[in-house]
């Protein structure tokens, strides 16, 4: 059992397919690193997957197991951290209702991340009722664990901001906490929930190999944590820079150099490359791409290897077993939160508060 006297983290991913190197620099490396400092809860947002794929339960189940495999391979340690399978946590569904009453519908629909997703997915006005609701559900995910810190990629900050608003509002409306209370003091002042903070990784938004859009599975521009050396090389080679000759002064803000800074580990080497590229000092894109591909390969090689250990039915069985044990652990915390919330709302009728 992990020590529980540390501040809590709650964060997670929607199971939509394999994780990529954008996840790694955006948030995954933070999550792996913070497992000793924080009591960490990592949530598989499988309910959210149904917002756009309600008719694909089997694919969602598959993606759910795959996400956990990717996490474990990346270094999420089930001995120190708790895995949270969203649909196994009744308190999250209950809190979603409670919080939904405190958020004006226009506030929810104005959420810039929600708007961007509707646009990107071309959903127009034909999306499910559950789609905007997921943003409220995400507030409930975080607050059910009374988390103080939420490590996420840059695109999720708008959701954490909404969560902060609703956490404060709950405290004002039901816990007698004064609106002038500093965010850091909400629990001490009698609030059920801390006002959580987002933490964005060192590269909040990694450009995809198309050189234009954010790296994402749906845009087919991602380098996956499970890609082979050859796949990584081929993908990096596709990066377009528009540069003609090794003596052309290059633009060190281009996608290739975003990768140089994100994945090369030696700061001196990065500076040298930037300097020579900017001056067009007989340096070809091909050699830089080879260096970038090697650096990415070095990062993902151990992940790829550990991932292979979970292949097949034996791997599935191990993951299911883990999820069962972790669900019990997660529900201890989330059920307690729900009790506290019900008591604050004068709803402590039949169950002990
Ligand atoms: N919406 C997040 C994503 O698509 C996943 C998520 C669900 C999440 N609940 C969360 C992230 C709570 C952080 C905290 O990546």
For the stretch 136-176, pLDDT in tens is 999 999 999 999 999 999 999 999 999 999 999 999 999 99
Verify whether ligand 1 is closer than 6 Å to residue 167 (CB atom). Answer: no
Distances (CA, A) of 328 to 24, 86, 258, 289: 28, 12, 42, 47
Residue with CA closest to ligand 1 atom 14: 11
pLDDT at 124: 81
Average pLDDT taken over every residue of the chain: 95
Please give the Cα distance from 57 to 64 (Å, whole number). 10
The mean pLDDT value for 113-125 works out to 88
Mutate to test the pocket of ligand 1, among 50, 156, 160 (most ligand atoms within 8 A of CB): 156
Nearest residue (CA) to ligand 1, atom 3: 13
Nearest to 65 by CA among 281, 344, 317: 317
Q: How far apart are CA 349 and CA 234, in angstroms?
A: 62
Residue 166: CB within 6 Å of ligand 1? no
Q: What is the pLDDT of residue 4?
A: 65
Name, in order, each residue with C-beta under 8 angstroms of 22's C-beta and a sequence gap of 6 or more.
153, 203, 205, 206, 208, 214, 215, 216, 222
Cα–Cα dist 22/27, whole Å: 8
What's the confidence (pLDDT) of residue 120? 85
| Res. 3: pLDDT tops 60 | no
Atom of ligand 1 nearest to the CA of 159: 1
Q: In the predicted model, is pLDDT for residue 312 greater than 70?
A: yes
Strand order in the sheet with 82-85: 82-85, 39-44, 8-13, 149-152, 197-200
Cβ–ligand 1 contact at 142 (below 6 Å): yes
Distance from chain centroid for Cα 274: 30
Mutate to test the pocket of ligand 1, among 159, 193, 216 (most ligand atoms within 8 A of CB): 159
If we measure between CA atoms, which residue out of 215, 217, 209 comes closest to residue 236?
209
> Is residue 90's pLDDT more than 70?
yes
0.85 surpassed by pTM: yes
Angle at 270 between CA 267 and CA 272, to 5 degrees: 110
Atom of ligand 1 nearest to the CA of 141: 12
1 pLDDT more than 70: no
Check pocket membership of 208 for ligand 1, CB cut-off 6 A.
no
| DSSP percent split of the chain into helix, strand, coil, nearest 5 | 55, 10, 35
Atom number in ligand 1 closest to CA 10: 14
**Confidence at 2, pLDDT banded by 50, 70, 90:** low
What pLDDT does 351 receive?
66
pLDDT recorded at residue 318: 97
Grade residue 128 by pLDDT with cuts at 50, 70 and 90.
very high
Q: Which residue has the tokens 């956990």?
A: 68
Identify the pLDDT of residue 121. 84
In the predicted structure, residue 82 carries a pLDDT above the cut 80: yes
Q: Which two tokens stand for residue 311?
A: 């292949």
């Amino acid at each position: 059992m992990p020590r529980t006297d540390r501040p809590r983290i709650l964060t997670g991913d929607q199971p939509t397919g394999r994780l990529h190197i954008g996840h790694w620099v955006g948030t995954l490396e933070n999550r792996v690193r913070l497992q000793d400092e924080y009591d960490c809860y990592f949530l598989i947002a499988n309910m959210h997957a149904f917002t756009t794929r309600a008719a694909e339960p089997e694919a969602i189940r598959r993606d759910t197991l795959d996400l956990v495999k990717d996490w474990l391979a990346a270094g999420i340690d089930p001995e120190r951290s708790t895995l949270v399978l969203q649909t196994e946590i009744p308190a999250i569904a209950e809190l979603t209702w409670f919080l939904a009453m405190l958020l004006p519908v226009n506030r929810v629909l104005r959420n810039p991340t929600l708007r961007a997703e509707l646009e990107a997915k071309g959903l127009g006005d034909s999306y499910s009722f559950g789609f905007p609701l997921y943003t409220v559900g995400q507030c409930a995910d975080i607050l059910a664990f009374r988390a103080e810190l939420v490590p996420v990629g840059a695109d999720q900050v708008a959701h954490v901001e909404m969560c902060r608003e609703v956490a404060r509002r709950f405290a004002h409306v039901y816990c007698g906490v004064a609106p002038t209370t500093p965010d850091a003091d909400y629990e001490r002042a009698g609030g059920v929930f801390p006002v959580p903070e987002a933490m964005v990784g060192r590269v909040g938004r990694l450009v995809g190999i198309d050189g234009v859009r954010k790296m994402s599975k749906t845009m087919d521009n991602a380098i996956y944590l499970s890609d082979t050396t050859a796949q990584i090389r081929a993908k990096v080679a596709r990066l377009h820079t528009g540069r003609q000759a090794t003596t052309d002064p290059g633009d060190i803000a281009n996608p290739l150099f975003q990768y140089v800074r994100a994945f090369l580990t030696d700061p001196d080497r990065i500076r040298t490359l930037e300097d020579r590229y900017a001056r067009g000092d007989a340096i070809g894109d091909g050699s830089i791409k080879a260096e970038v591909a090697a650096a990415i390969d070095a990062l993902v090689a151990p992940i790829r290897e550990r991932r292979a250990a979970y292949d097949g039915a034996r791997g599935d069985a191990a993951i299911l077993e883990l999820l069962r044990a972790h669900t019990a652990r997660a529900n201890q915390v989330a059920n307690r939160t729900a009790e506290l919330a019900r008591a604050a709302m004068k709803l402590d009728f039949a169950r002990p508060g």
